[in-house]
């Protein structure tokens, strides 16, 4: 009889996103039960199914050493493996400088061929350092083993609180942070998604259903962060929030006059949730697939790593961050929660469970969308009026 963990893995839809195109693979041995524990605060939440929500709405499938979304690849380098993500135009444009090429490749496939050739022949440590300097999301498989998922920084005393009716300012974008905000909204918090008018959440350009799924329970406020008035209003929203969620490098917020520790020590917000690829101490860029690889959260087949689900660091980090926030509120005190995507994945990595080919495989699925997400800035005037702020 198959391991019950494998049965739940196959039913969740995540197994359909894991492994070779012609052969789905089992999960890391600690993943299924670890993810199910994360769902504890939310009655009826199928946390394993969260791993496949984006894929369900975008029609993605497993592709072996190529991520489901296609922008990340696992490539041999030296005696190990590296994960290279090139999801943005600026990443592709940086490859010639990264690899020190005389001529830029003419096409995207040619770019990937150049990356594969170079990784197989050059010192991986040197390549990693150059990638960091250029802001490229590149990682060694397993490099973040032992990294903490959440580092809790105590910054003062405060009473224990229930999340119901608390104001959450969600400054994050894409997947992990917005999922954290959505789960806090499900717990009863009032969540306001705060975006820059000049650089709104990039997920707005993706499938509307996925954006609605993560942001339909929120209101939307949009400000011009590049203008003095917009930066001032952003700081004042932060000062009035009970919880802040952000996924920016610390220096980006510092440029807007926001210091997380100082804000929490001053009395508001009570909990600050900071989501980064590798923790606040560094400035490395990461996305869901390469951060998972850095944490070692891959599956193995014939001594080769394969991607585990779709950008798995994102949903895992979103659930982890939301749970850590609820725990911090329930325990009282003022907290900065430093959430590392690679660390979250490292805590759930391990040997791959062998899976039988006879397991019935369910496709990935998404929760139903409760209501469409508001348009960019649709609720700005209302939110500012409620907080006693003026444009």
pLDDT, position 275: 98
Q: Find the length of the chain.
A: 391
- CA–CA dist 284, 102 (Å, integer): 26
- Its pTM stands at 0.97
Give the CATH number of domain 150-282+319-341+367-386. Answer: 3.40.50.10540
- Residue by residue, pLDDT tens for the chain (391 residues) are 579 999 999 999 999 999 999 999 999 999 999 999 999 999 889 999 999 999 999 999 999 999 999 999 999 998 899 999 999 999 999 999 999 999 999 999 999 999 999 999 999 999 999 999 999 999 999 999 999 999 999 999 999 999 999 999 999 999 999 999 999 999 999 999 999 999 999 999 999 999 999 999 999 999 999 999 999 999 999 999 999 999 998 889 999 999 999 999 998 899 999 999 999 998 899 999 999 999 999 999 999 999 999 999 999 999 999 999 999 999 999 999 999 999 999 999 999 999 988 889 999 999 999 899 999 999 999 999 999 998 7
Q: Which residues contact 328 (CB under 8 A, 6 or more apart)?
A: 152, 271, 335, 337
Residues 6 or more apart whose Cβ sits within 8 Å of residue 280: 250, 274, 338
Judge contact between 266 and 240, C-beta under 8 A.
no
**SS3 assignment for 307-329:** ECCCCCHHHHHHHHHHHHHHHHH
**pLDDT confidence of residue 174:** 97
CA 385 to CA 391: how far, in whole Å? 10
Domain boundaries, the chain: 4-145, 150-282+319-341+367-386
Q: What is the DSSP letter of 94?
A: H
């Amino acid at each position: 009889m198959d391991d019950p963990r494998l049965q739940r893995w196959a039913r969740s839809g995540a197994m359909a996103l894991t492994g070779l195109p012609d052969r789905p693979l089992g999960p890391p041995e600690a993943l299924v039960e670890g993810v199910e524990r994360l769902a504890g605060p939310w009655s009826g939440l199928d946390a394993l199914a969260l791993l496949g929500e984006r894929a369900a709405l975008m029609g993605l499938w497993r592709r072996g050493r190529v991520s489901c979304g296609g922008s990340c690849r696992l490539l041999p380098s030296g005696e190990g493996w590296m994960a290279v993500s090139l999801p943005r135009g600026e990443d592709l444009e940086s490859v010639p400088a990264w690899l020190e090429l005389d001529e830029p490749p003419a096409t995207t496939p040619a770019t990937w061929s150049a990356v594969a050739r170079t990784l197989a022949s050059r010192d991986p440590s040197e390549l990693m350092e150059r990638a960091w300097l250029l802001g490229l999301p590149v990682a060694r498989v397993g490099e973040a083993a032992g990294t903490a998922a959440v580092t809790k920084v105590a910054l003062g005393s405060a009473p224990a609180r229930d999340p119901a009716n608390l104001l959450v300012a969600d400054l994050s974008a894409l997947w992990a942070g917005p999922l954290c905000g959505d789960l806090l909204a499900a717990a009863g918090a009032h969540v306001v998604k705060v975006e820059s008018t000049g650089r709104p959440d990039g997920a707005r350009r993706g499938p509307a259903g996925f954006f609605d799924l993560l942001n339909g329970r929120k209101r939307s406020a949009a400000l011009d962060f590049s203008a003095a008035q917009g930066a001032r209003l952003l700081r004042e929203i932060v000062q009035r929030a009970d919880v802040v969620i952000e996924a920016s490098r610390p220096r980006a917020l510092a440029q807007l006059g926001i210091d997380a520790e100082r804000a929490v020590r001053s009395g508001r917000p009570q909990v600050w949730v900071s989501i980064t690829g590798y923790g606040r101490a560094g400035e490395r860029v990461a996305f869901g697939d390469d951060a998972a690889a850095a944490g070692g959260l891959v599956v193995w087949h014939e001594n080769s790593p394969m991607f585990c689900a779709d950008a798995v660091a994102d949903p895992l980090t979103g659930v982890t961050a939301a749970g850590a926030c609820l725990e911090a509120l329930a325990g009282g005190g003022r907290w900065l929660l430093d959430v590392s995507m690679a660390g979250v994945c490292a805590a759930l990595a391990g040997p791959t469970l062998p899976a039988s080919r006879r397991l019935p495989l369910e496709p990935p699925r998404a929760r139903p969308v409760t209501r469409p997400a508001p348009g960019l800035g649709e609720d700005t005037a209302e939110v500012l009026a409620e907080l006693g702020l003026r444009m």
